[in-house]
Structure 1
Amino acid sequence: MANALDFEVTVEDGATALVPVIDGRSLVDLIAAYEARRGYEPSGGYGGIVPAHFRFGDLGRYYEAREQRQWPRPGHAWVLGCDCGEVGCWPLTTRVTVAGSDVTWSHFSQDRRPSWDYEGFGPFTFDRQEYASVVARAAAAVD
């Protein structure tokens, strides 16, 4: 069964932020609870990505990890940034795999804490057509 993806679109200090919502729960809340259960300090501290603060490129391509210059590296995407609005400050990274009719987020990592283990968090698999539609709506909200 596929997971459901949506985006919470908020305006923070005049800039639009995108927070993934998976199966009706904010990824900010999901990852903060996971980190707290693992005893990671500080746990949480995430916010949405703010495309006005960073050149992600085409968001449709970015969220499929197909952008020509993919951040943070090929095959991966930052899905959350710091609650300060800067993605590079406290990024949550996921591997993005597009296969057939699915898009999967897996192998999560906290780039500033490489020793933190996220095994057991995810994977989240989305229907590719729904995923593309949801990402397109989020990208339109940013434009």
Structure 2
Amino acid sequence: MPSNDIRFDCRHRGDGGPLVIVPCIDGAPLVELIDGFEIAVGMQPAGDAYGGLIPEFFRFGPMQDHFLGRSTNAMGPKTPVLGCECGEWGCWPLMARIAATTDFVTWDAFEQPHRKARDYVAFGPFQFNRHQYDDALLALSAVVGSDGDGTRA
């Protein structure tokens, strides 16, 4: 399986609003990838439903732990990788299983927990080279800060 490339796009929402984190896979924002998938397979509602994670709104803990599937706030076996376009992750999250080994990090078993009947088997899996993934997490942590809430102490 070829490796995907990941980076975490960090932008402030609106004019000086909170920091929003959107994973980008092979150069495409995950919000666009999931919108395209849901629309293509005829899910309703679909399109413009997801947004990035806003650490200031929910204490995910250190982003390095969160995006390795080890969030300090137990959310079950899966990790939110996107939230709702409204900014609240719990409103309409995209959840994924994140499995890390010495060589790879894999995102798979995607789900929309508010629509259990939806089938995401054909979305992903995404496999990232562990060194490239760790570099992307270091870049993210440099922007977000070590406490993970998107603010600077």
TM-score over 0.5 for the pair = yes
Partner of 1:17 in structure 2?
20
Instruction: Please provide the CA RMSD for this pair.
Output: 1.2
Larger Rg: 2
Mark the runs of 5 or more structure 2 residues left unpaired by the alignment: 146-153
Pairing 1:23-102 to 2, within 5 Å after superposition: 23-44=26-47, 45-70=49-74, 72-74=75-77, 76-102=78-104
Identity of aligned residues (%): 40
Corresponding residue to 1:121 among 115, 123, 133: 123
Of residues 6-15 and 113-122 in structure 1, the stretch that sits farther from structure 2 once superposed is 6-15
Mark the runs of 5 or more structure 1 residues left unpaired by the alignment: none
Corresponding residue to 1:107 among 106, 109, 119: 109
Whole-Å separation in 2 of the counterparts to 1:10 and 1:73: 28
Return the letter of the residue paired with 1:21.
C
* 1:138 CA displacement: 1.4
Structure with greater helix share of residues: 1
Whole-Å separation in 1 of the counterparts to 2:70 and 2:82: 18
Return the letter of the residue paired with 1:3.
N
Whole-Å separation in 2 of the counterparts to 1:9 and 1:83: 15
CA displacement, residues 49-107 of structure 1 (integer Å, 9 cap, x when unaligned)? 0000001011101111123433x313x21000011111001000000011231000001
Q: Give secondary structure in 2 for the equivalent of 1:53.
A: coil
Structure with greater strand share of residues: 1
